[in-house]
Amino acid sequence: MVDLENLRQIFTDLYGQTPRMFSAAGRVNLIGEHTDYNEGFVLPMAIDRHTFVAAARRSDRKLRLRTLGLDEEIVVSLDEERAPRQPWVAYVEGMARVLHDDYGVQLGGSDMIISSDVPMGAGLSSSAALEIAAGMAFLRLSNSKITSTQLALAAQRVEHLYAGTKCGIMDQLASVFGQKDHALLIDCRSLEITPIKLNLPHHAIVVCNTKVKHELANSAYNERRAECELAVSMLREKLPHILALRDVTMTDFEQHKDSLPEPIRRRCRHVVSENGRTQGAALALDDRNAEAFGNLMRQSHGSLRDDFEVSCAELDTMVEVAMSHDGVSGARMTGGGFGGCTVNLVRRDLVDSFREFVGDTYKRETGITPEIYLVEADGGAYEVCERS
């Protein structure tokens, strides 16, 4: 948990001003993986892990940036050309520049201190949470307004331009629009969000961090996206109405799959089937059907492993170990893949036993000590005074 009073005090001591404080959530995706950039459906929830940005205006156009715990201050001038930066600085600086360049926001400089309990680089969208919290700070400090959806789109643009990941819009929307006790069914074409109550009182969402992140994650992600785009251009010869894989039904796929070469055929099958599973999972939640939801999670993992090929040995082991525990209805990798976390639907009364079992067995099989987090669905982005 981030100690907000401590953050406020440190900021005041260092910069001589009382900061305003902004918060955005990490997220875990329950199901609907690699469907967002295919204009399909996703079902993430914001989690009770947040990034906080304490911020105050400056009279010049400089950003003076710190993260709590690191005794280093980075100064960026918004009047100078962009230079290579460490990732967390690039996210904040990128947000300032995108808000200015794409949304015409007239930004001044600011002092900022960042503190977060979203695990970094674990696939729980620590970068989206930072972009959104910093973006909100920039907007409020400069008395500017854009819609919350535009804020999410600006953060996505930062990922494209400053991190080189051609990601979809799921993480940023979840970080902004999260709702307590709800998952969000997001239509990534219309960007319509339908909150779905987590209607499974006897089950908990548990996230298991494999503690690995394979080098190829970024390049392989962009490669998968390109493969999906190639699938669309090939299928358009037979199905001229389609704009994205979202428009391809399972019947279409079965009818035309022979015209697709491998691995494009399997990539396509994953996206088409995952869109169906995601909508089915939202219905299963409504029906309080943990078993059906869990089955869809399991199928999703198999499809990501075999058809989309974005899993890895550690994620597969984590899922297999979890599935062998009695309290588990479903388990799958979550996020982009190639490391990071799994998400598990676990009977609430068996969470401690699950934690112990998975911790020990994964360690025995891989030599790595995992991190295991019980997470609750939480609200999205806000300015701290608005809630307290």
Closest CB 26 distance from ligand GLA, rounded Å: 11
Kindly tell me which of 53 and 271 has the beta carbon lying closer to ligand GLA.
271
> Which spans of this chain sit near ligand GLA (rule: CB under 6 A)?
33-34, 36-37, 167-168, 170-171, 335-336
Closest CB 357 distance from ligand GLA, rounded Å: 27
Closest CB 371 distance from ligand GLA, rounded Å: 18
C-alpha atoms less than 13 angstroms from C-alpha of 288 in its C-beta half-sphere: 4
Q: Are 151 and 136 in contact (CB under 8 A)?
A: yes
Element (H, E) at 5: helix 4-15
Kindly tell me which of 284 and 304 has the beta carbon lying closer to ligand GLA.
304
Kindly tell me which of 336 and 379 has the beta carbon lying closer to ligand GLA.
336
Closest CB 165 distance from ligand GLA, rounded Å: 6
Element (H, E) at 93: helix 87-103
Kindly tell me which of 31 and 105 has the beta carbon lying closer to ligand GLA.
31
Closest CB 29 distance from ligand GLA, rounded Å: 6
Q: How many helices (H) and strands (E) does the chain have?
A: 12, 12
- Catalytic-role residue among 111, 171, 247, 307: 171
Closest CB 167 distance from ligand GLA, rounded Å: 3
2-30 b/e with 16+ CB inside 10 Å = b?
A: beeeebbebbeeebeeebbbbbbbbbbbb
Measured between alpha carbons, how far is 38 from 51 in angstroms, rounded to an integer? 28
Q: How is residue 349 written in tokens?
A: 């009364």
Q: How is residue 66 written in tokens?
A: 């710190």
Kindly tell me which of 37 and 293 has the beta carbon lying closer to ligand GLA.
37
Whether residue 286 lies in the annotated active site = no
In terms of C-beta density within 10 A (0-12 exposed, 13-18 middle, 19 or more buried), how is residue 315 classed? buried
Kindly tell me which of 160 and 257 has the beta carbon lying closer to ligand GLA.
160
User: What are the DSSP calls for 151-178, one per residue?
Assistant: HHHHHHHHIIIII-----SHHHHHHHH-
Q: How is residue 25 written in tokens?
A: 């959530």
Closest CB 156 distance from ligand GLA, rounded Å: 8
In terms of C-beta density within 10 A (0-12 exposed, 13-18 middle, 19 or more buried), how is residue 304 classed? buried
Q: Is the dihedral of CA 30, 124, 200, 377 positive or negative?
A: negative
Element (H, E) at 282: helix 264-286
Task: Cis check for the bond before 263: say yes or no (omega within 30 of 0).
Answer: yes
Kindly tell me which of 29 and 361 has the beta carbon lying closer to ligand GLA.
29
Task: Give 24's strand partners.
Answer: 51
The residues annotated with a catalytic role in the active site are 171
